[in-house]
Amino acid sequence: MRTLKVMNASTGSNTIALSVRNLVVNYADVHAVADISFDAKAGSVTAVIGPNGAGKTTALEVCSGVRQATSGTVSVLGLDPQSNRLEMNSRIGVMLQDGGVYPSGRVGEVLEHYCNLFGNRERADDLLEAVDLGSKRKATWRKLSGGEKQRLSLALALAARPEVAFLDEPTSGVDIVGRDLIRGIVRNLADSGCAVILATHELDEAQRVADHVVMFQRGRLIANSSLEDLCGDNQAVTLRTSSKIDLAALAMHMNCRVDQNKTELRLYANSDANFISRLSNWFAENKFVLDDLRSGTPRLEDIYRELINVSEQSK
Nearer to other proteins, 78 or 100 (CB): 100
H or E segment and range at residue 212: strand 212-217
Nearer to other proteins, 67 or 208 (CB): 67
Can residue 275 be called a binding residue for other proteins (CB under 8 A)?
Answer: no
Query: What are the backbone dihedrals phi and psi of residue 44, each rounded to the nearest 5 degrees, phi first?
Result: -140, 160
Can residue 38 be called a binding residue for other proteins (CB under 8 A)?
Answer: no
Where in 103-132 is the site for other proteins (CB under 8 A)?
A: 103-105, 109, 112-114, 116-119
User: x/- binding map, residues 135-174, to other proteins, per CB under 8 A?
Assistant: ---------------------x---x--------------
Can residue 192 be called a binding residue for other proteins (CB under 8 A)?
Answer: no
- Please give the torsion angle defined by the CA atoms of residues 90, 93, 99 and 104, in that order, rounded to the nearest 10 degrees: 50
List the 257-261 sheet strands across, edge first.
Answer: 257-261, 264-268, 236-240, 292-296
DSSP secondary structure string, 26-86?
EETTEEEEEEEEEEEETTSEEEEE-STTSSHHHHHHHHTTSS--SEEEEEETTB-TTTTHH
Beta carbons of 49 and 40 less than 8 angstroms apart? no
Three-state DSSP class for 139? coil
Piece of the chain touching other proteins by CB under 8 A; list 60-68, 184-192, 213-221, 227-235: 60-68
| CA distance from start to end of the chain | 50
Where in 66-105 is the site for other proteins (CB under 8 A)?
A: 66, 85-86, 89-90, 92, 94, 96, 98-105
Can residue 53 be called a binding residue for other proteins (CB under 8 A)?
Answer: no
By C-alpha distance, which of 19, 18, 35, 94 is closest to 69?
35
Nearer to other proteins, 119 or 173 (CB): 119
Shortest distance in whole angstroms from residue 94 CB to other proteins: 4
Nearer to other proteins, 105 or 184 (CB): 105
Nearer to other proteins, 103 or 134 (CB): 103
> How far does Cα 103 stand from its chain's mean position?
28
Query: Residue numbers of the site for other proteins (CB under 8 A)?
Result: 64-66, 85-86, 89-90, 92, 94, 96, 98-105, 109, 112-114, 116-119, 156, 160
